Amino acid sequence: MKKHSHRSWVEVDYKAITINTRTMKALLSDATVMMTVVKSNAYGHGIVASAKAALAGGASWLAVDEITEALALRKEGIRAPILVLGYTLPELYAIAAAKKISLMISSLESLQDLSKMKLAKPLHIHLKFETGLHRQGIMPSHVQQVIRLISSQGFPATIEGVYTHFAIIEDPMARDYSVMQRDALKEIVKKLNAKGFAPIVHASSSAGILFSKDFHFDMARTGIATYGIWPSHEIHRWAKETTLVPALSWKTIVSEVKMVEKGSKVGYDLTHTLSRNSRLAIIPVGYWHGMPRSLSNKGHVLVGGKKAPIVGRVSMDITIIDVTDIPSVRIGSEVVIIGAQGKEVLSAEEMAEMAGTINYELVTRINPLLPRLAV
The values of phi and psi at residue 251, to 5°, are -130, 160
Distance CA 171, CA 304 (A): 38
State the CB neighbour count (10 A cutoff) for residue 8.
23
Mapped onto helix, strand or coil, the DSSP state of residue 254 is coil
DSSP state of 142: G
Look at strands 319-322 and 334-341 and give their pairing: unpaired
State the CB neighbour count (10 A cutoff) for residue 31.
9
Distance CA 171, CA 286 (A): 33
Residues 24/206, Cβ–Cβ less than 8 Å = yes
Helices (H), the chain: 14-26, 39-44, 47-56, 67-75, 93-98, 108-115, 143-151, 175-194, 206-211, 233-238, 348-355, 359-364
Q: Which of 25, 39, 128, 251 is catalytic?
A: 39
Residues 70/124, Cβ–Cβ less than 8 Å = no
Distance CA 63, CA 42 (A): 10
Say whether 268 is catalytic. Answer: yes
Residues 216/204, Cβ–Cβ less than 8 Å = yes
CA dihedral sign of residues 225, 53, 86, 356: positive
Q: Which of 116, 258, 265, 268 is catalytic?
A: 268
The C-alpha R_g of the chain, in whole angstroms, comes to 24
Residues 8/195, Cβ–Cβ less than 8 Å = no
What is the arrangement of strands in the sheet containing 319-322, beginning at the earlier edge strand?
A: 256-260, 278-283, 319-322
Distance CA 359, CA 135 (A): 21
Say whether 39 is catalytic. Answer: yes
Give catalytic residues, as residue numbers: 39, 268
